[in-house]
């Protein structure tokens, strides 16, 4: 099996990024939480550090106002910009298509990753409002994207308006169909952990795998702690993937 991309979110400090790179993580993902407080020295240093290695820095802006996005990309200069809106509004889809096109024109050196929402098994038809089918979304965004990332969409997202950090797996059958029907790399996300990533890769066959909640540290009640990774979980996650490449 060829090399599988291992992508880990949410990494906000150079120290944590350095640790994860040493563990063999390929894509180090960071998040800008708002367009009002978009400058973060730690994240800038994190991306700079990643740029000095063979790994790649991926950056999610949790906003899609074009001028704000352009400021962020000019300031941070990540390898990848990752957009993860939940795409429930068809008018938003058209707006985001234009954003992708403009990012490509202004920052041709930056790759674009687009999250494609996928429901839990059997859950897509129950979501409201009615959604554009997964494969149709992929067809729309494929010409203006360099990567897709499949992630789990619920009736209520942990971050309103965006897909991710649910800790729940998406429908792997749909993810597999997406991979088989398009021509750009697909990274599988949604509830992946050291315990299920091997089964996910074997069944779905993605270009890469992504983990956030499943490799976070936990509090005393066992709840995931955002922006703090569990080094041992990340190590096990990477090892579970790399053994499949042998």
Do 227 and 13 form a contact (C-beta atoms < 8 A)? no
* Domain residue ranges of the chain, discontinuous segments joined by +: 5-245
Residue among 140, 152, 153 at smallest CA distance from 184:
140
**How many residues belong to the chain?**
246
Rounded to 5 degrees, what angle do the CA atoms 208, 213, 76 make? 70
The percent of residues in the chain predicted with pLDDT above 70, rounded, is: 95
Q: What pLDDT does 214 receive?
A: 95
What class is the 5-245 domain? alpha beta
Tens of pLDDT along 200-224? Answer: 999 999 999 999 999 999 998 888 8
Tokens of 201: 């890769």
Alpha-carbon separation of residue 8 from 38, 176, 184, 208 (angstroms): 21, 21, 20, 11
Rounded to 5 degrees, what angle do the CA atoms 26, 28, 34 make? 155
């Amino acid at each position: 099996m060829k090399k599988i991309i291992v992508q880990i979110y949410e990494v906000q400090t150079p120290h944590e990024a350095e640790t994860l790179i040493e563990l063999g993580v390929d894509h180090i993902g960071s998040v800008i939480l708002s367009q009002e407080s978009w400058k973060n020295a730690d994240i800038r240093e994190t991306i700079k550090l990643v740029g000095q290695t063979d790994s790649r820095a991926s950056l999610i802006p949790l906003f899609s106002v074009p001028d704000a996005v352009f400021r962020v990309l000019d300031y941070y200069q990540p390898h990848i910009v990752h957009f993860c809106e939940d795409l429930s509004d068809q008018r938003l889809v058209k707006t985001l298509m234009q954003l992708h096109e403009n990012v490509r024109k202004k920052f041709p050196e930056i790759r674009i990753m687009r999250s494609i929402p996928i429901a839990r098994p059997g859950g897509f038809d129950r979501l409201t409002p009615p959604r554009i089918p997964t494969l149709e979304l992929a067809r729309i965004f494929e010409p203006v994207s360099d990567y897709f990332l499949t992630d789990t969409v619920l009736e209520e997202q942990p971050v309103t308006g965006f897909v991710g950090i649910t800790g729940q797996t998406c429908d792997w059958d749909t993810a597999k169909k997406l991979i088989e029907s398009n021509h750009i790399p697909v990274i599988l996300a949604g509830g992946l952990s050291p315990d299920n990533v091997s089964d996910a890769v074997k069944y779905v066959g993605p270009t890469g795998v992504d983990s956030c909640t499943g490799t976070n540290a936990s509090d005393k009640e066992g709840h995931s702690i955002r922006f703090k990774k569990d080094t041992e979980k990340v190590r096990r996650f990477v090892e579970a993937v790399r053994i499949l490449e042998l």
